[in-house]
Structure formats: C-alpha cells, structure tokens
Amino acid sequence: MAEVLSQQQIDELLGNLQSGNTDIKEIEEQTSAQKIKDYDFLSPKKFTREQIRFLQNIFENFSRMLSLYLSGQLRISCQAEVVQVEEEEYKEFGNALNDSVLLSVMGLHSDIYNIEDKQILLEMSRPISFSILDKLLGGDGSGYLIDRDYTEIELSLLEYLFKQFSGLLRNAWSNYFEISFSMDAIETNAQMIQFIQPDESVAIVVIEITMNDLKGNLNICLPASSLEEIFKSFDSKYVKVNKRDDPKVVKRRREEILAELKDTPLTVAAVLGETQVTLKELLELQPGDIIPLNTEVADGSVTVNVEKLHWFTGTIGTKKKKYAVRIDKVLQ
C-alpha cells in the first residue's frame, strides 16, 4: 500500500516547491533509488516466501477469472492484474484507507480444515465501484467522478457484485484447498472493522483493474490468523514433503548456514556454583562475609554455559598462571 500524505504534509510540500527550498532533482533521485524496508525484529514475519508465492499464484488465477467476469458483465474491455503481494501490519493498511471506503467482509469456511468464523477484507477504489454501478444502471461507465456516500440501492448492487466475487475466490483456491467464501457484510467506514488487531500481520494483495481508460485497485487484506490452518496444511503438503524427499539439499543447506554462523562471537562462562539469598541477607552483606555455594568441594566440577545454555561440564584449574577449565563431558 502506498503511503498517504496528510493535508498538512501536502501543503508543506507545495509551499517548499513554490519557495524553491526543495530540490526537484533530489526528489527524483530519492524516488528512483532502491526502496529498502526496515525489518522489525520485535514483530517477526508471519508469512514465509513460499506462502507469499503461494498467494501470488492463487490471486493471479483469481485476477484472470475476474477479468473475464467483469468483461462479460459490463460488456466492456476489463483487465485485472496482480501488481503487489506483501506482508505488513494491519494498521499500515488501515491508515492508508480514506474516511469513506468500500469494504467487503468475506467469510472463510471449510469443514476439512476446521475453518469457521475467519474473515478477510476486499477494498475497492471508489472510481472503479462507481464506474461499475454506472454500467450496471445503463450508463457508459464514465460517471465515476462522484464525491458522496453510497446509496442503499448502490450498496445492494455492490453486495450482489461481491457475492459473485466469493464464487471466483472459491474457484481460485480450488486447485489447492476446498474453501468456500461468503459475503458477510459491506462497510463504508474503516473504523467499523474490529476483528483485526492493529498490530496483526496481514498479507496485502493489490489487484489493478483497468476498464477502458480507467484504472483502480482491488485490495485484498488476508489476516495471518485467518490463514493459519490453511498454511499448516500447505507447509505439510508442499514444503515439508519436498525437504524430506531430498535429504542432500537439507544437508547442504544446513552446512551453508553453519558456515555463515562460525564467526559469530559467543559468551562462554564457567559456573562454579549457585546459591539463593533473601533480599534482607543481600542488603546486610559486608566485605569479608562468606557465601556458601551449592557445589561440593570434593567434586571440583563446574558447568560451562554457552550464552545461557548448559553445554559442557568440566574441571577448574590453571594454565599459564590463569584460571582455566578442562572440558570433561558434552551435555546433550
């Protein structure tokens, strides 16, 4: 989803251009430069590359069927094409929506995969929706420059349209999974969507629809929680089986990963012993006090930790006038 500027940001940009404070060449260079998106390690990705490609294939099939359906229904040349499939947080998708939008809440249903009460979102741009309405009501499709809310009759027609989309979605998924879709509701206010948390990971599929000279988007929002059961079956059917059938590839991949990790610095610590004290005892400790540990003197063994994991047991001693630990046993 493209970033939407606020009115204040637009005014500041126009003001800087008029005053000459902004270099247009610099803006063009920034626009043409390679875009790099920061990775948030606190919010790891929920969709793997295989799953993103899987969604790409499904919705490319859906876009082909959508092109044929719109061309036959509206009797004009229509083209639908997937231009983007990416993962982001729902709040990024919600912030890009206008105050008045056209959202269809689609339900997912499958007895085989125990899917019920799961939903996805379809958002259609206003020009495309009003152009479709104009054609359905006998116009030539040019009456799309409208700045008002949808009427009840228009919403009824759009509800019928999205019901047809649910059938197309079922056909697009049928090559992989038996899933049915239902048109649950139509919303014109994005604030009414409450079943997706703002920080939840979603897959956004952007389909560009071209109707004669008019272009607009059909954005499909797929929450990770709604696709969880589907992807479990997908991983077992299309990912894990392939890895199990080719152990040489798995071994080579493991060796490559270990080769990259060999120079990673790790903290190794020998633990002589441990004990527990109360906060009162800790506050009363003075220089010269003795703290007994849980390690026997005759034993002499210590635990060697790598980072915070117990990896070895050993014996403490000295080497070249420095304390040292001899590894006695590797812990499983």
Q: Is the pTM of this model over 0.75?
A: no
Q: List CB contacts of 61: < 8 A, sequence separation 6 or more.
A: 172, 175
Q: List CB contacts of 259: < 8 A, sequence separation 6 or more.
A: none
Query: pLDDT, tens digit, for every residue of 297-316?
Result: 666 788 888 888 888 988 88
What is the rounded CA–CA span in Å between residue 105 and residue 122?
A: 7
Query: pLDDT, tens digit, for every residue of 226-242?
Result: 988 888 877 766 665 44
The predicted structure's pLDDT at residue 220? 96
Report how far apart, in Å, the C-alpha atoms of 233 and of each of 48, 142, 184, 199, 250 are: 14, 45, 25, 25, 21
Beta bridge partners of 7: none
Specify burial of residue 162 (Cβ count, 10 A radius: 0-12, 13-18, 19+). Answer: buried
The predicted structure's pLDDT at residue 308? 83
The predicted structure's pLDDT at residue 166? 94
Most confident segment among 1-10, 79-88, 145-154, 189-198: 79-88
Asked if residue 31 has pLDDT above 60, the reply is: no
Q: Is 317 left (phi over 0), alpha (psi -120 to 50) or beta?
A: beta
Q: List CB contacts of 106: < 8 A, sequence separation 6 or more.
A: 119, 120, 121, 122, 162, 165, 166, 169, 181, 182, 183, 184
3-state SS assignment for residue 113? coil
The predicted structure's pLDDT at residue 46? 83
The whole-number average pLDDT for the span 191-212 is 91
Query: pLDDT, tens digit, for every residue of 261-300?
Result: 888 898 999 888 888 889 998 899 999 998 888 877 666 7
Least confident residue range of 11-15, 85-89, 252-256? 11-15
The whole-number average pLDDT for the span 66-71 is 94
- Enumerate domains of the chain plus CATH numbers: 42-242 (3.40.1550.10), 266-275+295-332 (no CATH)
Label residue 25 by pLDDT band (50, 70, 90).
low
The predicted structure's pLDDT at residue 295? 77
Q: What is the mean pLDDT of the chain?
A: 85
What is the rounded CA–CA span in Å between residue 130 and residue 113?
A: 37
The whole-number average pLDDT for the span 102-119 is 89
The predicted structure's pLDDT at residue 83? 95
Beta bridge partners of 218: 124, 207
